[in-house]
Amino acid sequence: MRKGGWILLVLAGAVLGGPERALGQEERLRGRMAPEVVSEVTSLADSARARSLPVEPVIQKALEGASKGAGLEEIVSAVHSLIRDMGLAREALGPGLPEHALVLAAAALDQGASPEDLCEFRAHESHPSLPSALGGLIYLVGRGVPTDVSVGLTLEMLNADLPAAAFSSLQRLVEQDARQGAAPVESARVRARALIQAGGPFGLEGDIAR
């Protein structure tokens, strides 16, 4: 095929593929929510796509709202804030962030972390444990640990190159301590440092639980 032919084929694919994807999204939304909500969400999804942000989390957020009985304004507001936070998260952490890490980073912003807090993680953009670290950050902030302490502890764990499982261990250990009356902030400090010293959660949970 001549060079011009390839270009035409690629252009045709781009033109046809875009509306097809949009139609697929509309199809998933239709029947689950009112037509005006579908229209608004589709428009927001298109705006996310135009900014090279993932569209699937946008569709999922709308479906979540519909399943929870949210109205038009609530769904649009939730989707809008998600797109905003995903945009901020990508600026803070870099363009190469996987989709699920981007969604977690957006959730961290919604939980109370700031874009500046997320910037601290930029050096670990390609670290395999980054999504779990962001999950750990969300957990600690949600548990009432001050954001600067939460960021500091999760960064220390990432710097120590701990595996993803270490962050779920941290959560379990802090919960265990909280049931015995320990303050989450103190528990998080002690447990995170113990995990770092041990190089991971392997065999540690049982030992320090006693």
Give the shortest CB-182-to-another protein separation in angstroms: 13
* Of residues 65 and 92, the one with the C-beta less far from another protein: 65
Give the shortest CB-31-to-another protein separation in angstroms: 11
Give the shortest CB-11-to-another protein separation in angstroms: 30
* Of residues 2 and 74, the one with the C-beta less far from another protein: 74
Binding site for another protein (CB under 8 A): 28, 57, 60-61, 63-68, 70, 74, 77-78, 81-82, 98-101, 103-104, 107, 110-111, 131-132, 135-136, 138-139, 142, 163-165, 168, 171-172, 175, 179
* Of residues 92 and 133, the one with the C-beta less far from another protein: 133
SS (H, E, C) the chain: CCHHHHHHHHHHHHHHHHHHHHHHHHHHHECCECHHHHHHHHHHHHHHHHCCCCCHHHHHHHHHHHHCCCCHHHHHHHHHHHHHHHHHHHHHHCCCCCHHHHHHHHHHHHHCCCHHHHHCCHHHCCCCCHHHHHHHHHHHHHCCCCHHHHHHHHHHHHHCCCCCHHHHHHHHHHHHHHHCCCCHHHHHHHHHHHHHHHCCCCCHHHHHHC
* Of residues 5 and 31, the one with the C-beta less far from another protein: 31
Give the shortest CB-59-to-another protein separation in angstroms: 9
* Of residues 6 and 202, the one with the C-beta less far from another protein: 202
Give the shortest CB-63-to-another protein separation in angstroms: 4
The torsion region of residue 113 among left (phi > 0), alpha (psi -120 to 50) and beta comes to: beta
